Structure 1
Amino acid sequence: MTVLDIIDPIHDFIRVYETELKIIDSPIFQRLRRIRQLSGAHLTYPSAQHSRFEHSLGVMHVAGQAASALKENGFLDSDQVADIRLAALLHDIGHGPFSHLFEEVLQEKKKISHEDLGRRLILDSEIGDILSKSGFNKKLIVKLAFGDPRYRFVNEIISGSLSADMMDYLQRDGYFTGAEHAKIDHKRIIQSLDVYKSRLALDRSALYSFESMILSRYQMFKAVYFHKTVRSAEVMMLEAIRLADKSVGFTSLDLDEYVKLTDEFVVSKILSLPENNENLRRAKKLAQDYQNRRLFKCVFERIMTQKDLKSKEPLRDKIANKSKINKNDVFVDTSTTSSLPLTPSKEKTKSITLIAKDSGKSIAKEIPFSKIPVVASMAESMNILRVYTTAQYRKKVEIAANSILGGQK
């Protein structure tokens, strides 16, 4: 059996087995090398050039460690560990260019997610053929990778508040951005994993490590993922993709066409557009400015309630009218996410099950996050409203935005 060790700056060595290597060497998986993990963050954090490719390897590695720890405690067998590693390796296979940024467009236009496309790629492409020929059940791998109530704690190994996904991306993103917020003791968490009533649980002694990880995630969203300049670059590419989509068909969802979409492919495709209508001219200008780091300026920023965030388009009109400039030069961005990781079924996580050892017996207790002070302080969603414009109209839009929004709470 072929075994390969890959050197990795986060996990030192990542061991890859024969079927995993066949998938990694496939063109569909290799495409992940050309999709940056943090889309436009490299324009603010120059070293954030890492991709979905190495993140996927890292998630496989951490999921394998977690599954092996649970196997030692009798919750899994060797075949299940192999299935979990493959599911973790493929959890991001459906990501489009610019990662979650492109998913915003997909949600708007097609109401689908990268998980939906991941399912299709595993079931209907060479990825599925590799799995089947190697003796794996591709339908099972899909259920483990993207969520199925019958495999709840296995799904939680890959995504959720104790997931391999988070344990890799926090450390990897922290390393490549240079942010100091992402120091977590993932090995302690892994060795403390347990299972109770089909849910992933944690030994009570590792609660501090869990709290630290949740706090790190919260800080990374504030310092990196929702950084105003990072988001400025993303707003520009979002608008460019939206404007060009009708002509180029980025969201056609033909799988053969979809797997061609990478960060640089999309930028070059937009730059090559003919300038025969206003939308294409605007898309091309935005892509050029993105490429040359002539980014929008943030002129207003405020933490808002979920209700306030819903009035984005009328707000754009109001600010443009007040500024006496074209609406196309005003951009209202709403960045929102749950402060706590979502469950595999995309619901809010509300509790954690802690296991305490007493006289050789294991006692399980479900603890609401409201009872864990550090976690409770971050229990609400992070909602940030920002107003952007070009350097040319910076002062006008700043005055108008403050006039309209300055008194709102």
Structure 2
Amino acid sequence: MIPEVAQLNRASSLVRIPPAEGVPISPRVRRIIDSPPMRRLASISQLGMVALVYPGATHSRFEHSLGVYLNSLRLLARFTGDASLNPPLDARSADAFVLAALLHDVGHWPYCHPIEDMRLTGFREHESRVSEWIDQSELRQCIEQDWSCEIQDVVDLLEPAKKSAASQTSPIPLAFLRSCLSGPIDIDKLDYLQRDSLHSGVPYGRNFDVGRLIESMCVHPNKGILAIGEKGRTAAEMMVFARYVMFSEVYWHHTVRSATAMLQRAVFLMKDKIELESTFKLNDAQWVTRLVETSNALRGTSLGNPHPLVDGLFGAQRRLYKRVAEFNAIDAVEGQSVEVHRQIARRPYWWLVAASEKLATRVSSMTGETVVAEDILIDAPPVKLEVDINVDVILRDGSFDPSASDADVNVDVSGNADARVTEKQSRPPLGVTLANVSPVARALARQQFDDQVKRVRVFVHPDKRDMMSRAVRAHGDWSQLLIDVVQSVDNEIV
């Protein structure tokens, strides 16, 4: 047992984080969290634009990292000595896992999630930057001097694409530990759902039992990844539902998405001037300063009009764009809503900009008033899908029948499911997926999670909303207008 796990309930040195949790800090952990890369995370918001709607949601990535680290110790305490792990957990494995939990967000930079959703050419995602932060900072020395694992062990857990030749025969249970860090139920989600809910001032993400989930965790007998025992089924179901509601009511709240759409369009307009690759080591304040200065420098030029967007987000007065239309993939409104979502969701960001520009031209001709491209924003689910919500449930006897779960409910990586009643379901199978035994999980597996919570929306400049609403009176009018724009943009591409 590594010292941090041994100190879980009797640590002499603690850091307190909400909600009144004591995080044990050993000397070697303190050297990690006091390093410049980790201290930088204290100046990067966990939720970015959410704070414009939920004022308390200003907690940092550093706080979240400490919460994930605490969960890693709880999980190690659960699996220390577990004979079902092959290779078994040892000090090297435990050290690598603890470091991966501490450093999993070290590659984050301000507002990176919405900007990464744009998939700009040549710009890498934050997950691929962890090894750079280790190599180019004192983190390398800290790990080499204080920890029994190799740096490559940590990289293997956080950046599988960068695995080395030696990784193929690693003495660490990589598949299991990776699934604990990133999977349907992982130590990251266990923390951020509850922490984001707490700071946002809403109850939705705190209505599941973390302790019960961790107690019920086990090793999948066939796949060697994280699964849950039957006693954790209800806690897992509640976590799935908590995640759904947090996306619906917080992360994809319509005003949060308005601010997000404004930020994305501003960055898109200025991407060649900001030099995004040079900003990934900045903190929030430095990044916003760079954005504002670049916007001010473009005033009066012909390179788009980003300053109403930037001023509305970061100026002296909050001035967000207003929602005029909304479409989901479930409920048809005047026969068009589902079709609009199907036509627009998961389009490339450059396509959304082209459609917004064409929509502005159409509305301008309808109203007889000037509507510039930056007056209209189309927000839609990004190309990248959320991770699958399913997890394997191992029933009471601890066994697993691989022919039971996969035959009864097939869930692919996009979350679609083909659920059917079979004779096999008339008697309980030995092992199942959560969708087999949970009506909530089954519903979210059948109908893509992203389609239920991530809507297609049209936002417009607040000064133009009334004028546009008069011109495009009914929701169905927006539907038809958008369908026409989609066809027009696609025809031009062809």
Question: What TM-score comes out, normalization by structure 1 length?
Answer: 0.88
State the one-letter code of the partner of 1:199: I
Which one is further off, 143-152 or 46-55? 143-152
> Does the CA-based 8 Å contact 1:39-1:101 persist in structure 2?
no
The residue correspondences of 1:285-304 to structure 2 (distance < 5 A) are: 285-291=308-314, 292-304=317-329
Measured in 2, the distance between the counterparts of 1:163 and 1:11 equals 22
The residue correspondences of 1:188-337 to structure 2 (distance < 5 A) are: 188-196=212-220, 197=222, 198-252=224-278, 258-259=280-281, 261-273=282-294, 274-275=297-298, 278=301, 282-291=305-314, 292-304=317-329, 305-309=341-345, 310=347, 312-324=352-364, 325-336=371-382
Query: C-alpha deviations, 1:186-230, integer Å up to 9, x for none?
Result: 111111111023111111111000000000000000000001111
Aligned to 1:17: 26
> Does the CA-based 8 Å contact 1:6-1:15 persist in structure 2?
yes
Q: How has the CA–CA distance of structure 1 residues 129 and 213 changed in structure 2, closer, same or farther, with 3 Å as cutoff?
A: same
Q: Kindly state the Cα deviation for residue 7 of structure 1 after the two structures are TM-superposed.
A: 0.7
**Alpha-carbon RMSD:** 2.6
The residue correspondences of 1:131-210 to structure 2 (distance < 5 A) are: 131-135=143-147, 136-147=149-160, 151-183=174-206, 184-196=208-220, 197=222, 198-210=224-236
Q: Kindly state the Cα deviation for residue 370 of structure 1 after the two structures are TM-superposed.
A: 4.1
Query: C-alpha deviations, 1:18-51, integer Å up to 9, x for none?
Result: 2221121111111111111111111100100101
Alignment equivalent of 2:42, drawn from 25, 30, 33: 33
Secondary structure of 2:305's counterpart equals: helix
Whichever structure has more strand as a proportion of its residues is 1
> Does the CA-based 8 Å contact 2:393-2:433 persist in structure 1?
no
> Does the CA-based 8 Å contact 2:106-2:133 persist in structure 1?
yes
State the one-letter code of the partner of 2:283: T
Measured in 2, the distance between the counterparts of 1:6 and 1:20 equals 11
Measured in 2, the distance between the counterparts of 1:104 and 1:225 equals 14
Query: C-alpha deviations, 1:244-287, integer Å up to 9, x for none?
Result: 332231224xxxx631x222212112222324653677334422
Q: Kindly state the Cα deviation for residue 111 of structure 1 after the two structures are TM-superposed.
A: 4.8
Measured in 1, the distance between the counterparts of 2:481 and 2:433 equals 36
Measured in 1, the distance between the counterparts of 2:215 and 2:263 equals 41
- Asked whether 1:108 is paired with 2:154, we answer no
Say which one has the larger Rg. Answer: 2
User: Equivalent pairs: percent with the same residue?
Assistant: 27
Aligned to 2:142: 130
Measured in 2, the distance between the counterparts of 1:186 and 1:194 equals 15
Q: Kindly state the Cα deviation for residue 120 of structure 1 after the two structures are TM-superposed.
A: 2.0
Measured in 1, the distance between the counterparts of 2:237 and 2:373 equals 44
The count of aligned residue pairs is: 393
Measured in 1, the distance between the counterparts of 2:325 and 2:243 equals 25
> Does the CA-based 8 Å contact 2:114-2:264 persist in structure 1?
yes
> Does the CA-based 8 Å contact 2:359-2:482 persist in structure 1?
no
Q: Kindly state the Cα deviation for residue 408 of structure 1 after the two structures are TM-superposed.
A: 7.9
State the one-letter code of the partner of 2:373: K
Measured in 2, the distance between the counterparts of 1:262 and 1:280 equals 26
Measured in 1, the distance between the counterparts of 2:379 and 2:57 equals 22
- Asked whether 1:392 is paired with 2:463, we answer yes
State the one-letter code of the partner of 1:4: S
Q: Kindly state the Cα deviation for residue 407 of structure 1 after the two structures are TM-superposed.
A: 8.4
Aligned to 1:61: 70
Question: What TM-score comes out, normalization by structure 2 length?
Answer: 0.73
Which one is further off, 328-337 or 145-154? 145-154
Aligned to 1:345: none
Moved over 6 A (4+): none
Q: Structure 1 unaligned segments of length 5 or more: list them.
A: 343-347
Aligned to 2:490: none
Query: C-alpha deviations, 1:151-170, integer Å up to 9, x for none?
Result: 11101111111200000000
Q: Structure 2 unaligned segments of length 5 or more: list them.
A: 5-11, 330-340, 365-370, 401-429, 484-494
